[in-house]
A and B are shown apart, each in its own frame.
Chain A
């Protein structure tokens, strides 16, 4: 989990360099935290902890973050939908990570192959950089 904090610090630093405003930066840090925490808690559960890679790029008016791992594949579409309208007594802890990621970014793409492992691509639109 300490590594997840390091990924968050990486995203914060990259956001600053890319001129991304603080609220977008908060969303991206949270999305990366949730995705990586899921890998630590679920993806690599019961096996040797494997590598997790996080890359950050600004492509025009989009921020593209790619998270790579070698855990068993888990497609975001397969994540169960949390019952957000259920009363507290019926709410289950957990299950919120993917729901939040889907709210925090504009686009998610996922692919997986035996050689390169899994690749989650998260895209968020940002305000274009101002000239001058």
Chain B
């Protein structure tokens, strides 16, 4: 798994590549929480490069979105591949997270 963080105005775009599973989810949680605790409460997670996600990855997203919302921000996934979108759907995450088809629209969804 590879994680790259880029700031677009107030929004931190966290791009993830590879598999998010029991071995890598901890690293993702740490990276996302690092952003929130560092003051970036508006987060977009670009998962275009994620080819696999298990419930361990969902836990990373859930823990982060709870933390971000406590701070008045949010975590918004973008550009999920169909298989990963299905995982989000099966787990009910598409009803608790705002999911966007691409990074630009996810970034634009936050107040400027």
Contacts and interface: CB of A to CB of B under 8 A. Distances in A.
A88 B93 CA distance: 9
A91 B62 contact: yes
Interface of A: 1-2, 4-5, 8, 23, 26, 29-30, 33-34, 37, 40-41, 82, 84-89, 91, 93-94, 96-97, 99-100, 103-104
Contacts of B92: 82, 84-85
Nearest to B25: A1
A95 to B, nearest CB: 9
A89 B69 contact: yes
B21 A4 contact: yes
A29 B97 CA distance: 24
Contacts of B69: 88-89
Contact of B54 (A34, A84, A91): A34
Contacts of A84: 91-92, 95
B22 A96 contact: no
Interface in B18-67: 19, 21-23, 52, 54-56, 58-59, 62-63, 65-66
